[in-house]
Structure 1
Amino acid sequence: MKQTLHDSVWRVRDFRRLAVGRSVAAAGAGMVLIVQLLRLTAQGAGSGRIMVLLLAEVVPVILCAGPIGRAADHRDSQGVLMVGIAAEVAACLVLATSPGFALTCAAIALLSVGTSLIAPVWSVLVPMVVGEDRVGAAVGGQQALTAALAPLGAGAGGVLYSAVGGGGAMLVAAGCYLYLAVVALRLKVRRRALAAEATGPGLRQLLMPDLGAVRRDRLLWCLLSCMVPLVVVLQGLNVLEVSLARHDIGVSAAQFGCSEIAAGVGTVAGAALAGRIARDRTRAWAMLTGLSAAAAALGVLGVATTVIAYFGLLVVVGAGVGISNASFGALFITRTPSAQRGRVSAAVNGLMQTSSTAAIALGGLLGVLLGVRPAFVVSGVAGLAVLAAGAAVLARTSTEHVPEPVADTPLPVPAP
């Protein structure tokens, strides 16, 4: 037990700072989204405006994945973090003024760019902070903490909106991002700026996401090829969940508000469990197993009739997602050359956001064509079919020929 505690990533000060800072910022992001949705609802906005707001959040991540990833790889990590945080704080200050709809969408887009600029730097810094051999534990621990704090941020956003209004809530969200700025300035290790390439990238190379390192790794490409269609098939059910819960199962408004907590409990447990996995092949199978559990639980939700079953299945979904996200996160960090980790992280994030956007449209279409309950059942079965095909490919996929990581040279800064 003492040895386990001694080896824990939580004993590393910079990791504690990074993990807590990112999780507090995630709580701030949840606060921003819920407050803007409440504000639009109070203004009588229809589903069309809400859809535009959600697109304003995801489209910049897709369009900027290429340049953002290269900035994370080639610029000093502290500078990139501060630029991203400045964008987030500026967006919150604009939203605090209760702007019109067009300016609200622009501020949400700016916030999204700032957040997507910060995320790849995490992938770059984690191995430098905890060491390559403890990346899995670090990713699992950070995702578990984020899963615990993010729903609290959304809940706090609703409470603050009722108590002090949207402007006050946005100032609190800005404070969450400023806390991350303090963390960034106090880190003892940061990624130094890399030397510029002799021949700069062309415009197409600069703008396009770089998935080359993932395509060259058979294991990562196999898993990503499973994840993309699965996100499209399953994540669209988020559009239909409120109708299933409130109208078909009979969940009360208060109980539905607690649904995020149930899923969060599962996600925390799943991410923490995945953080204990050490071998690449075990992580790959854990990812597919977690996604299979989530797909099966969503399919069963389509025939669930009681509130207890609803909450129990949400815990299973959360656990499956937590295991799969933490396992894949550790895999793509450790199996990607360090000089390309920022680009790979940004490209994968952009690809997932593209899939999520397609999922929203597909979920609504399935609800119209099949009905809510059949849409859950059909999507769950389709997800399991995709995963069965992925498992067959994974069984024949080698974990060898992993690109050798290029060692990062930490840039020491004076201790605070």
Structure 2
Amino acid sequence: MTDTNSIKEASYARGVSPLTVTLGFAKILADISATAATREREHRLPHDEITELKALGFGALRLPLDEGGHGVSLGGLFVVARDVAAADSNIAHAFRNHLWQVETALRKKDHPFHAHVLGLTAQRKTVGLSFTESDVTAAGARPTKVLSRLEWDASRDLYVGSGEKVYATGNLYNDAFIGSAVESRAGRTVQYVLERGAGVSNGDDWNGFGQRLTGSGTARFRDVTVPAAHLYPLDPPRPDEAAPWGFTFHQVYLTNCIAGIVRRVALDAVEVLRTRSRNFYHGEAAHPADEPVLQSQLGRIRAYAASVEATADRAVAALQRAWDAYGTSGEYEATLAATLVASEAKVVIDDLAPQIASWLIDLGSGSVVSRFGALDRHWRNIKVIASHNPRLYKERLLGQHLLTGHLPPTGTFF
């Protein structure tokens, strides 16, 4: 009889963790991985795959069991999300904004706005963001609200608004959207929950050279309607002594996605070497898999990939400690530490990951440059994810902090 642990270890070698196996995601991720190259070649948006992941509760991983979720820890969320990224980084990336919003809501679940978000999540729906938009033509432009104003329509007993958001990652696949706006009756700024319906459209007009299937095009809201019951007061301000670094999750999640891609590179490297039929003409072995130089290159890929995952794990662990310290006297110190560790991880992984993806091409040489295998997508996807919040500023911040104690910025774009 086969030992269960052996099955789990074998599953990890195929790109998924024991936790993912236990939660029942292994099969869908195997299917997603098997079809990822085809989707890339054909530019087929992963609507069906994301729908199935929603139904299985990927978006509700962090909800307690008795509230319709899987009850995993924050660290567990990143374990499963990395497995998703190893199968298809586009899909993992598309869930980022929803998963961040769930984290926010879990901390503030007594507030009716956040309770609404958690209720949608329990229904296996995902929630996108329509909080801010920037004037992309102006250098250093400040973000503005997407639905800047909601006008009251007394004849229909609801609010109506319009707006547009570019780079709306994941919104193509989301069931609802949240944001803030000024409502016309009282002239106050409120938070809203807008469910997908008439007037909501998403363009697949994202033209990046990587992460092409994330649904990162333009989200348009034309005369969309929001019931008065779905408008909520703003969150109360946090105490002055509370930690101001509330967005480290974003950075760790993206770095975690890159770690997933690197794992896929290592797995693909094994397949490339096993399936190559011809060795280099100046090689020493009859078959590429027996070629010492290529075995060494495969070992290098494996070692560096393991180092990338370990570095990402360190950032996840720091974020978990910051989460555990929320609302305590140790929150400030733990959250600052998490932001610095996340910056360190980004600097290292953004440097190493593209190199590892390049080594995959070296391993296969001319036999793997065909567009059919789409192996170039790994390097392209890594570079596009890494372009979020450039590492150059992280490097400077880390140096400044060591020299003078200079603190990190507190906004979402760092």
Higher relative contact order (CA 8 A, sep 6+): 1
Provide the TM-score with structure 2 as the length reference: 0.33
Give the TM-score, by structure 1 length: 0.33
